[in-house]
Structures are given as C-alpha cells and as structure tokens.
C-alpha cells in the first residue's frame, strides 16, 4: 500500500491570515492521523509565511506517524531539521520567494552539495529524499548523492491528466523503473488529487508514499462545507 502523508501548510496559511490559533495546527495534525493518514508533511520557508519554525518543533512532540519536513537546505533549515530530527527530510530546490515548488534538483550539477547535506542528515538517523523531475539522468544522479529516496515532481503529469492526456504518465513510469533498478525508494507529490491519484498509483511501480496538501485541503472544503453550513442553519432555527 502506498502511504499518504498530508501536507498541512495550507492549514497554517489560514491560521496566519487571521492571527491567533484558529485553526489549531497541532489539533488538525492529530485529527488527520486519527482519520488514517500515515504521515504529516510540512514545508517551512525562511519567511515563515505558513509553517513557522516553532510549528516544526511543536509537531515533533505530537506526530505519531511519519514526520516529513521539506525544504531548501539553507543553513536555518539544516539547523531546524537537525534539531527536530523528523522521520524524513525532503530536499527541494525552491527559491526563498517561491509561491510553491516548481522544479526538481539538477542532481548532476549539485551532486557535491547534495552529498554533503545528505551525509549530515543520515549521520543523525534521518531518512533523506530528493525532489526530482522524471528524468532518468536525474534519478541516476540522485543515487550518487547517497539519498534513500526520490520524490517525483508530479505537476507535469497532473496538468496532462487534467487535459485528458494519460500519456503524461509515461516519463514517470520510466523514472520509477530507473529508481527501482537502482535501489531508490519512490515518493511523489505536487498537484496530485482525488481525480488523478488512483491512475498515478496504479501505474507507478514501487510507489512508497505520496505527499498531498493543497488539493486535499481544498477538496476537504468542498466535501465538508455542506455539513457545516447545515449545522449553522440548525443553530439559527427559530
């Protein structure tokens, strides 16, 4: 079975937009685990516009499943991960001002840097994953860094699938086959949703874990708002 790790960044975004502690990020993380998710993912950025560094520390105390921290391994991120010691760290090459992740690592050009970072995390018992495009050369480059896993960047697949083009899965199948042959674990994430997740999962051999945030939270609003509206109406009845 492929594990589901829920990215809770958007819950933090909603909380931060109003101040205070509503919604309660820690309670939501616990509830998500209670509902069956096998992991919690966060992606703190240096400006702390959604997940705050203190959130990462606080979540360590309550997460009972796999705890995955994503981000660009700048010095402050490195220090945070080494302090918190999550189950897994996923290295993502996003710029500080990026709205969201938009590319995988060039594992060939960045081999030396990634190797040093990964060695440091592995020395502290933290599983490592590299965010990569579905390019066999980048997968081969990832192996040379010593990483445990890769996370396939799935935006291109999701965009093609939305247009009815199921051939968009082909590069991901090839990438997965390459990873499997080289002994790398496979994670995936970005724009996966209820419409495309089953097709993706059924076609990717050895898929261990998916990390889903934006779509899952948005779908939760759509699929849950009817119940809440009716609860308010009930309270307001004469």
Q: How does pLDDT run across 195-235, given as a tens digit for each residue?
A: 999 999 999 999 999 999 999 999 999 999 888 889 878 98
178-198 pLDDT tens trace: 999 999 999 999 999 999 999
Q: Identify which has the larger pLDDT, 97 or 193.
A: 193
Residue 190 a catalytic site member: yes
Residues 6+ apart with CB under 8 A from 7: 41, 42, 43, 70, 189, 211, 212, 213, 214, 216
Torsion of CA 204, 205, 210, 212, to 10 degrees: 10
Kindly name the residue from 33, 70, 151, 209 that is annotated as catalytic. 70
Kindly name the residue from 43, 50, 66, 151 that is annotated as catalytic: 43
Task: Quote the mean pLDDT of the chain.
Answer: 94
- Greatest alpha-carbon span in the chain: 69
Q: Tens digit of pLDDT for each residue in 146-167?
A: 999 999 999 999 999 999 999 9
User: Is there a catalytic annotation at residue 43?
Assistant: yes
Residues of 172-186 as b/e, b for ≥16 C-beta within 10 angstroms?
beebbbbbeeeebbb
Catalytic residue (one of 33, 66, 190, 209): 190
214 catalytic per annotation: no
């Amino acid at each position: 079975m492929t594990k589901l790790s829920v990215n809770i960044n958007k819950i933090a975004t909603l909380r931060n937009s109003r101040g205070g502690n509503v919604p309660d990020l820690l309670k939501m993380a616990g509830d998500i685990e209670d509902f069956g998710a096998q992991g919690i993912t966060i992606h703190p950025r240096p400006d702390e516009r959604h997940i705050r560094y203190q959130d990462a520390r606080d979540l360590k105390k309550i997460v009972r499943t796999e705890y995955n921290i994503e981000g660009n391994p700048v010095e402050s991120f490195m220090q945070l991960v080494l302090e918190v010691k999550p189950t897994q760290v996923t290295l993502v090459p996003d710029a500080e001002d990026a709205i969201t992740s938009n590319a995988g690592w060039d594992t060939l050009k960045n081999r030396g840097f990634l190797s040093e970072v990964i060695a440091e995390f592995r020395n502290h018992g933290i599983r490592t994953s590299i965010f990569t495009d579905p390019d066999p050369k980048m997968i081969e480059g990832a192996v040379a860094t010593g990483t445990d896993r890769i996370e396939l960047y799935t935006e291109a697949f999701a965009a093609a699938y939305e247009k009815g083009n199921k051939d968009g899965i082909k590069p991901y199948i090839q990438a997965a086959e390459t990873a499997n042959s080289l002994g790398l674990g496979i994670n995936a994430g970005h724009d996966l949703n209820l419409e495309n997740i089953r097709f993706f999962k059924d076609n990717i051999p050895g898929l261990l874990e998916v990390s889903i945030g934006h779509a899952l939270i948005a779908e939760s609003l759509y699929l849950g708002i009817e119940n809440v509206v009716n609860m308010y109406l009930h309270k307001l009845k004469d």
